[in-house]
Amino acid sequence: MYFDTNMASTAASRKPPVIPALLLLASAGTYAYLEYGAWQGYDLGLGNDYDWKIESVSDIGIDYRQVHPLKHYNVTSYRHQWMNAAILQAGVVFAVAQIYLLWSSRHRATQQTALLRTLRLLLAVTYAGGMVLFACVHGGPRERHWEIVGWHWTGLAMAGLAGNLSLVLISIMALSEIEKDGLHRLVSSTLGGFGLYCFYRFNTLGEWDYLTQLGLWQRGTLYPVLVWNVATAIFTIGAQFDGDEVEDKEGKRA
């Protein structure tokens, strides 16, 4: 019985890089924790309960007391910095993870894949830029008065389109063994398509009133990337153990 070191080396090289997966998982968990904490610090006034389908991420991130534009009473987000930090880190970490994957797979780059790799990089950077803009320029009455609120919605558009298009592109062009998996491709394309649909719905809500589900469709635009982070981490961590099983079976012979 002997152990084939060449096969072991090959099996190990097929394992997807775990560092970006851990970054993505930590980012999604951090986002969930920070947004939930921000909800707890959102004072709707008049004893009203928080409704995540109506109250938007934009409102939670506003750093001053405002008269609710749809319900017409004072609201204050006392933990606005939590929400904005969640958005910022999600954008930056996603871009860093994508850049890491592109760099670590550079030896497999070909002339045929150069355009798609460049597009994937641009989408990741655009997503990060959109999230930064979305978090740093708020969508409240003060910004409307200053006539800069358009930058807030531009940031949402950049993040919503680039982030979800990234998921669709990932289902087309794989950078790792995990992304070549049929189930992972299905998850990526489904999440990306759902996010784009939610972005469309958010932008076709018509005239807003106090029952308009801004939060539902805005979160539906942003959450697919976070869910993809978790799914990719699960696939990647699972592959580390699958690789060991393949190595044991192929590297040992009687």
pLDDT one-digit tens code per residue, 180-218: 889 999 999 999 999 999 999 999 998 888 788 999 999
pLDDT for position 48: 66
Question: What are the DSSP E strand ranges found in the chain?
Answer: 2-3, 42-43, 66-67, 74-77, 252-253
Q: Where are the domains of the chain?
A: 18-237
pLDDT for position 245: 47
Q: Note the pLDDT tens digit of each residue in 228-244.
A: 999 999 999 988 887 55
Q: What is the mean pLDDT of the chain?
A: 87
| CA dist 40 → 35, 44, 60, 144 (Å) | 9, 11, 10, 26
* Closest among 41, 42, 120, 34 to 82, alpha carbons compared: 34
3-class DSSP state for residue 74? strand
- When pLDDT is cut at 50, 70 and 90, the band that residue 5 belongs to is very low
Q: Note the pLDDT tens digit of each residue in 65-75.
A: 887 766 667 88
d(CA 2, CA 252) in angstroms, rounded, equals: 6
3-class DSSP state for residue 66? strand
Q: Note the pLDDT tens digit of each residue in 102-154.
A: 998 888 878 778 888 999 999 999 999 999 999 999 999 899 999 999 999 99
Q: Check residues 8 and 43 and name the one with the higher pLDDT.
A: 43
Contact 167, 197 (CB under 8 A): no
| pLDDT tops 60 at residue 250 | no
| pLDDT tops 80 at residue 49 | no
The single-letter code of the amino acid at 239 is A
